[in-house]
Chain A
């Protein structure tokens, strides 16, 4: 397979292709669809939606298939950036268009293309108005997200970061639930506040890394890593700026309150993308930018302790609040806060096991929580309510749905044999070596997560079938089954045989842990104050 890929020069064009394909798809949809859309009317029933959604499906399928090559073309043994494309963009400001991947980025890109393909399937019949705009926005969103994972130039990173926000804002605001305007505004402004501070920090860094001979700033990632000269107090402030931007995205307690509203009000695919991918961008930001650029600030005992404390608080708090939610989507939203707390714990505990575990949790959470939102969307299309108490005993009526929901629930709880266990186990066993007490507290979340999810699915699937409106719900149709099968397969595969995935991310994880340690040691050996 590798030979085939090298023969077509895969590595050289794959990354730009991943960015361009969705844009081309979006353009095609807009051009074709804008004329046929009417302001009102059911586009799915009348067939107007068929063209946009089909084009979107084909585009995402092509994107996914094309991205699969990264699985084989990526060389886990090499520590350098791979498939790099480096073009001049705005030379006078030192901004270049540089994109490349390491192990983490590869897995995130694959997760993105996989989830986006499934989310188109999930929106097939639930988006019934202005479909062409919707699918076009999904495509542009994809470019933004993949761009963030690929960017190796900080300015490009920021541009892509902002590119993601606007389609999401529209998706929530136009096709969302009852409180969609409030939710989308809250999401946009909350995220923007953090990002603006990050912009200031990026500009500062770019200037700090300027070429002393020419005076031109440089925003390249490796450049800044090597050359930027920042005082240690400035480093703390810069880290704080990055921290705020990413902490809102993760979301860390107490910056998480945008998430329940955004998730509940967003349409199905919006929630899926938000949970599966966009939350990972926050943790990815920590892994790629915040910590490697400012290791001393990040590992400063007070700051690190604060972040770890917030992570563990998030884990337990998110789980406890999930327990009492009447709305199933909100329950899943708060459970995301809990799961992402594990990721933060893994990253800042700083052992190879905990970092690899954090990466696995990122992937696994993307799959299982995305699946949960897809399932909620399916049942919502049938009954138009997300309240748990409106259901009860429906496993009798929709057995395939019940089976899927049960399997995904067990993945989310972290039952061994499913993917959820591998990530959580690695995070906890790694974190225990450096933070035993915090890990002890975090492990109690396994009890609470079982409680809230099992209680929720019991009230939905089991118990007596006492409401007449639930007696005739149709089961999953073939399209929905086709969406769930790959997810269940992924859940089991990653639970039983995660080794290939772990191997690909190993290099990046070890580099992360090693570089932070190395930089800290370098500074502790008394390098002069003026150098980072």
Chain B
């Protein structure tokens, strides 16, 4: 097996013979973790039934007192049950495989840095997956600068979140099942970023959707959680439909689905042609589903029903960024489809502002962060859509840091609130900010770290979010002036107009971001505490296994900007990330912005200053205008009115979708298709109808058999006369 793997490498590559040959172990480790933890989970919950189930009528003795494992394999949100008996080994294996995977990825990264100039990807083919005619899809991993970057993010942030989960989920009866699913998720995500062709990427793509389903609905005894998981999967599937069509188009025209093959094929496609535009638009449909853009974002806020570390990992740092990665990976196609790029940028910008506006009025702390994620994803799509691939990916990385920090921080808060409520037997909503307030005195470390993240997401220098967000807006502005996109037209309007419009939306969204994030911090940590007398005494900082990863993420959030400093930065390496990704993304980026001059320094400083001003202004506005003292706990809170009500109810989008799409589909299927056509028309008229007709004919025939001899005699005579007559006439 090992020789098979090592012989599978193609040709002489600078990485041949290095530790990079072991890249297959990076996704394999989490898979082994899944198998191990999954087996543990099933083994601890399974009680074999009797040989003859029908005779089981009386024997329920072993089920009258279900053990905690049975509850837990079962999705009860019953915290504070005893620790699962396999908790220790699960923690070690579950987090261990992630840490090992990260260390291996880091080692491969250093090998890549040391191997000198790597211009071609390092592809390892293991076996032939679907060989049919001229379709040759292999199980192949592709290691290049882009996939390496993503792998580091996934395994790194993933490892931190696994460690956090050890603390957060410690009392959950479904502990091994949780880690099994989480490991499986990381496996699929790594397949997604390391896959060497579109179908393999698609395995990862749908696989993370599958794990998302399982994890969102982790506490499935609540209908709302199960609903949320189902909604996520189905809405994702709408996007996957687009992805599939794009793959079919690619294969039909290029006869290959490998990234290297598509790269070559793309070179011969006409720029701006209908084919490549269609392919890109369908790929983007996939991204809209997976990365929660308008109009398919509706699953992400509901996905907050899952455990908070899941929200951090899947719905902030990794799965939702898969769409951004896909566009970067398909940059050779997007760069020659300017119309598609306009669509990407505009939808990204609209999403950014739309979601930010909803975030202004949400009371659940996780919902604020969820809408914030949707909004920030919009920014990433502005980045990659405008052909500034590195910039979009840079924001992906920094967002992974600060959004994970924010989610995990909120997880610590929720953890503390749950603990406090549990002590007093309270059943209030532990996630509603109206029940929080003044937590900075009880959770100072979390408080400090979350402020760092808030400043980063608002875009305050020198934190990472400032650099990435500013670069996106700056790149967008530059391309609005001069690029292939600016020269194209969508619905008759020139691309530059669209791009400037998107820039404006981006600025407004940045303002809103600063406002709602500050609002969140104020209501949660500042002001008086609204949790309640009895609970207050139990509010405390989370254990170090949870706060530790927060600190690491805090450091990354603070200094993460250094990986891609702009040229006006006073110190540090300029554009390290851009230089790293140049072999993969340099050519497509250059193609889009071909011929543009350098932005003047004054203009650059002006734009940066404007961005910082907007961010600071947002924070200031929220700080001065919001009064946490006037808030009351959730159960006493008044109903919202007017436009605020619309925002709280997220513009009623879910209700609109339900009324216009879901109910009509079900109604037509039940009324027209099933009862009408199937039972009524085909079965009723056709099948049973023909049966009735046959029996009717038989009934008519049977009427002739009257039993009346007289009739028979008449018919006999008449027949004889007829025959004689026929003979005599002839």
Contacts and interface: CB of A to CB of B under 8 A. Distances in A.
Please say whether the chains A and B touch (CB closer than 8 A): yes
A257 B241 contact: no
A502 B63 CA distance: 47
Among B42, B74, B234, B673: residue with most chain A CB under 10 A: B74
Contact of A395 (B42, B52, B203, B220): B220
B665 interface: yes
B665 A323 contact: yes
A454 B234 contact: yes
A324 B401 CA distance: 44
B301 to A, nearest CB: 19
Contact of A464 (B54, B223, B252): B223
Contacts of A506: 132
B320 to A, nearest CB: 19
Interface stretch (A8-16, A88-96, A262-270, A471-479): A471-479
Contacts of B233: 450, 454
Contacts of B240: 446
Contacts of B227: 458
A443 B241 contact: yes
A430 B241 CA distance: 16
Contact of B252 (A186, A415, A432, A510): A432
A410 B220 contact: no
B84 to A, nearest CB: 14
A415 B206 contact: yes
Given A352-B132, A450-B233, A499 B127 contact: yes
Interface string A465-504: 1000001101111111100000000000000111100110
Interface stretch (A21-29, A62-70, A233-241, A397-405): A397-405
Nearest to A503: B131
Contacts of B252: 429, 432-433, 436
B277 to A, nearest CB: 16
Among A324, A415, A417, A462: residue with most chain B CB under 10 A: A462
Interface in B479-494: none
A531 B665 CA distance: 50
B129 A425 contact: no
Interface in A402-432: 403, 410, 415-417, 421-422, 425-426, 428-430, 432
Contacts of A481: 48
A425 B199 contact: yes
B203 A403 contact: no
Contacts of B139: 496
A462 B75 contact: yes
Contacts of A173: none
B223 to A, nearest CB: 5
A225 interface: no
A498 B129 contact: yes
Contacts of A450: 233-234, 237
Interface stretch (B10-18, B156-164, B344-352, B679-687): B679-687
Nearest to B201: A416
Nearest to A254: B682
B75 A395 contact: yes
Given A399-B74, A429-B248, A451-B234, A463 B226 contact: yes
Nearest to B128: A499
Among A430, A444, A458, A474: residue with most chain B CB under 10 A: A474
Interface residues of A, number: 80
B640 to A, nearest CB: 29
B129 A446 contact: no
Contacts of A440: 245
B514 interface: no
Given A416-B203, A416-B207, A396 B76 contact: yes
A429 B247 contact: yes
B74 A497 contact: no
Nearest to A261: B683
Contact of A324 (B206, B217, B230, B666): B666
A257 B222 contact: no
B28 interface: no
Contacts of A439: 248
A74 interface: no
A190 to B, nearest CB: 7
Contacts of B129: 496-499
Contacts of B673: 317, 320-321
A507 B677 CA distance: 41
B132 A447 contact: no
Which 4 pairs, one residue from A and one from B, show the smallest C-beta to C-beta distance? A396-B74, A474-B49, A352-B133, A432-B248
Interface of A: 44-45, 125-126, 128, 186, 190, 254, 256-258, 317, 320-321, 323-325, 351-353, 356-357, 378, 381-382, 393, 395-397, 399-400, 403, 410, 415-417, 421-422, 425-426, 428-430, 432-433, 436, 439-440, 443-444, 446-447, 450-451, 454-455, 458, 461-465, 471-472, 474-481, 496-499, 502-503, 506, 510
Given A410-B210, A447-B237, 19 more contacts: A125-B52, A256-B682, A317-B677, A321-B673, A323-B665, A381-B54, A399-B70, A416-B205, A429-B252, A433-B252, A444-B241, A462-B75, A463-B220, A474-B49, A478-B48, A496-B129, A499-B127, A499-B128, A503-B131
9 contacts: A352-B134, A356-B132, A396-B73, A415-B210, A416-B203, A417-B207, A422-B130, A426-B135, A454-B230
